[in-house]
């Protein structure tokens, strides 16, 4: 968890339960405004995708045919 996310979670825990719900809805609204269909990558996800692409380009992967799917 990012340090700022931990700080936000800690602050929300201080609030009364009813206000925690309001804080949740606000954060949810902000996230949906930024990424309405949940398709954007976080910086960590982008690094993982880039690493996977480099590994595949280098031939460092197991093809589907080598897996026993049974």
C-alpha distances (whole Å) from 57 to each of 8, 52, 54 are: 39, 9, 5
Higher pLDDT, 19 or 2: 19
pTM: 0.55
Q: Count Cα atoms within 13 angstroms, Cβ side, for 3.
A: 0
End-to-end CA distance of the chain: 36
Model confidence pLDDT, tens digit, residues 11-60 = 999 999 999 999 999 999 999 999 999 899 989 999 999 999 999 999 99
pLDDT(6) > 90: yes
pLDDT value, residue 52: 93
Q: Which of 34, 33, 2, 11 is nearest to 19 (CA)?
A: 11
Higher pLDDT, 55 or 70: 55
pLDDT value, residue 50: 96
């Amino acid at each position: 968890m990012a340090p700022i996310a931990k700080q936000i979670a800690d602050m929300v825990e201080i609030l009364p339960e009813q206000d925690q719900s309001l804080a949740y809805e606000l954060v949810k609204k902000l996230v949906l405004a930024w990424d309405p269909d949940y398709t954007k990558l976080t910086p960590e996800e982008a690094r993982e995708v880039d690493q996977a692409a480099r590994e595949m380009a280098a031939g460092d992967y197991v093809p589907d045919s080598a897996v026993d799917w049974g």
